[in-house]
């Protein structure tokens, strides 16, 4: 069951001096431009409501100035919202005391910044253990914990170096390790990988996804790169002019963009890395077991209008592929044993993989058996369908 971890309710942030007039104008329907012109105030966040689930990697994506940083900084109140509510684990945090918000920042929320935010004169291990020191953990315990986390991100051997001895990618790993060390359930990551070279950036994305599969934190990740957003996000919110235009899974955004703005972002995206096999595969009826007469199987193929049919065992796991021409040849030559005629070396793939993964399986020319995560037959996708799904604007 999904559980809401962070709930933003009608959040509005107005920067400037006359926020009440600006707020009133916004509520009367004035646009961002009108508010700026009339009051000199900037509408940073324009009435955003969002629910972010526990354990979710939620990406906030949008062009520069769309309000991503403002939104994320409202969550831990580095920026004070002008109006609206924020609930963390059901606790309202906009109107809570400064003391309580500091406590929440210390224990529940960690932040990772684009420029790493490391202390230059402290060693890697001291940087990682910093949050633990603030939490009051004793020296021995925090060293052990910091080493443990550094091992997870592959930097244990660098623990006594200063950050300046490390490459950008390594420094960002230290930033990530520092956030993870605190055991905070929520990570706010503000353009965390934007300063890295493309190759290192991709490595860090993979690293984050690997760590997230283990740790299941609630991560709010800001990005202005749609490819990154769709690659790592469980769900992505697209922002424009302070408002959220669409929230959805990467596939929702690519296959069902709500408007031209979202479509313009997603049309450049490599669909093969986003669209899941399960979404584009076809549900087909397999043959249960291999103890059937060839004539009956051929009839079944005729009825279904297919030339090839997968065979599943009692657990619904595909065990072989039957091909019409082989059955017909066998029938004419007196071989009646179906099991002998099955292609056992057939391509198969689980439905949660992206289309890209089906590429290499297309070589055989055979329809690919699509299964669920337990290996049970779900349907098929042909090599031609793999190619078509990748190019069609509406797979």
- Interface residue list for ligand ATP (CB under 6 A): 15, 42, 44, 62, 64-70, 224
Gap between the Cα atoms of 277 and 390, Å rounded: 11
Neighbouring residues of 183: CB distance < 8 A, sequence distance ≥ 6: none
Q: How far is the CB of 241 from ligand ATP (least distance, A)?
A: 8
Q: How far is the CB of 245 from ligand ATP (least distance, A)?
A: 13
CA 293, 295, 296, 297 torsion: positive or negative? positive
Backbone φ and ψ of 282, nearest 5°: -105, 135
Question: Which lies closer to ligand ATP via its Cβ, residue 191 or residue 251?
Answer: 191
Reported as type and span, the H/E element at residue 133 is helix 124-134
DSSP 8-state symbol, 246:
E
Q: Counting every residue, how long is the chain?
A: 395
Closer residue to ligand ATP, CB minimum distance, 70 or 281: 70
Nearest CB to ligand ATP, comparing residues 63 and 317:
63
Longest dimension (CA), the chain: 91
C-beta atoms surrounding 331 within 10 Å: 16
DSSP SS3 for 364: helix
With respect to ligand ATP, which residue has the nearer C-beta, 15 or 261? Answer: 15
Nearest residue to 298 (alpha-carbon basis) of 341, 245, 346: 341
Least separation in angstroms between residue 28's CB and ligand ATP is 20
Query: What minimum distance in Å lies between the beta carbon of 148 and ligand ATP?
Result: 33
d(CA 130, CA 153): 17
Residue with Cβ nearer ligand ATP (74 or 274): 74
* Nearest approach, Cβ of residue 68 and ligand ATP (Å): 4
CA dist., res. 230 & res. 226, Å (int): 6
Nearer to ligand ATP, 2 or 64 (CB): 64
User: Nearest approach, Cβ of 227 to ligand ATP (angstroms)?
Assistant: 16
Nearer CB in complex with ligand ATP: 116/158: 116
User: Shortest approach of ligand ATP to residue 192 CB, angstroms?
Assistant: 13
> Taking Cα atoms as reference points, which of 141, 138, 135, 203 lies closest to residue 167?
203
Q: Which is nearer to ligand ATP, 74 or 109 (CB)?
A: 74
Task: Copy the structure tokens of residue 153.
Answer: 């991100």
Q: Indicate the residue among 64 and 98 with the shorter CB distance to ligand ATP.
A: 64
Q: Distance between CA atoms of 153 and 215, rounded to whole angstroms?
A: 13
Residues 6+ apart with CB under 8 A from 157: none
Q: Within a 13 Å sphere around the CA of 327, how many CA atoms are in the beta-carbon half?
A: 23
Of residues 43 and 128, the one with the C-beta less far from ligand ATP: 43
For the bound state, the minimum distance from the C-beta of residue 79 to ligand ATP, rounded and expressed in Å, comes to 8
Nearest distance from C-beta of residue 120 to ligand ATP, angstroms: 24
Is 325 exposed, middle or buried (CB count within 10 Å of its CB: 0-12, 13-18, 19+)?
A: exposed
Tokens of 342: 């099955």
Alpha carbon 131 to chain centroid, angstroms? 27
The per-residue b/e assignment along 142-156, b for 16 or more CB within 10 angstroms, e otherwise, is: bbebbbebbebbebb
Nearest approach, Cβ of residue 194 and ligand ATP (Å): 9
């Amino acid at each position: 069951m999904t559980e809401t971890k962070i709930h933003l309710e009608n959040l509005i942030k107005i920067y400037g001096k006359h926020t009440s007039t600006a707020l009133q104008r916004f509520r009367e329907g004035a646009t961002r431009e009108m508010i700026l012109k009339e009051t000199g105030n900037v509408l940073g966040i324009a009435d955003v409501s969002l629910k972010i689930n526990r354990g979710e990697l939620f990406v906030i994506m949008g062009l520069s100035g769309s309000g991503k940083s403002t939104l994320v900084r409202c969550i831990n109140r580095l920026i004070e919202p002008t109006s609206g509510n924020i609930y963390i684990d059901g606790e309202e945090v906009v109107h809570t005391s400064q003391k309580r918000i500091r406590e929440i920042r210390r224990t529940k929320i960690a932040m990772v910044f684009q420029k790493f935010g490391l202390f230059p004169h402290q060693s890697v291990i001291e940087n990682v253990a910093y949050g633990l020191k603030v939490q009051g953990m004793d020296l021995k315990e925090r060293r052990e914990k910091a080493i443990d986390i550094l091992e997870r991100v592959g930097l244990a051997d660098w623990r006594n170096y200063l950050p300046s001895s490390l490459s950008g990618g390594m420094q960002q790993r230290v930033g990530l390790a520092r956030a993870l060390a605190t055991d905070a359930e929520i990570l706010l990551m503000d353009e965390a990988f934007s300063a890295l070279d493309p190759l290192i950036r991709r490595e860090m994305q993979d690293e984050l996804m690997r760590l997230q599969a283990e740790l299941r934190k609630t991560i709010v990740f800001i990005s202005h790169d749609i490819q990154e957003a769709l690659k790592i996000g469980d769900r992505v919110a697209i922002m424009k002019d302070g408002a959220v235009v669409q929230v959805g899974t990467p596939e929702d955004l690519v296959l069902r963009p709500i408007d031209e703005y979202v479509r313009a972002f997603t049309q450049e995206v490599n669909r093969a890395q986003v669209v899941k096999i399960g979404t584009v595969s076809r549900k087909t009826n397999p043959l249960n077991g291999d103890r059937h007469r060839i004539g009956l199987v051929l009839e079944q193929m005729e009825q279904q209008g297919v030339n090839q049919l997968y065979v599943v065992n009692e657990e619904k796991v595909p065990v072989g592929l039957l091909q019409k021409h082989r059955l017909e040849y066998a029938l004419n030559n007196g071989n009646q044993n179906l099991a002998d005629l099955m292609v056992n070396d057939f391509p198969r793939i689980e439905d949660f993989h992206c289309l890209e993964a089906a590429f290499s399986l297309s070589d055989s020319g055979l329809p690919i058996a699509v299964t669920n995560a337990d290996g049970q037959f779900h349907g098929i996708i042909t090599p031609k369908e793999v190619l078509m799904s990748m190019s069609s604007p509406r797979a």
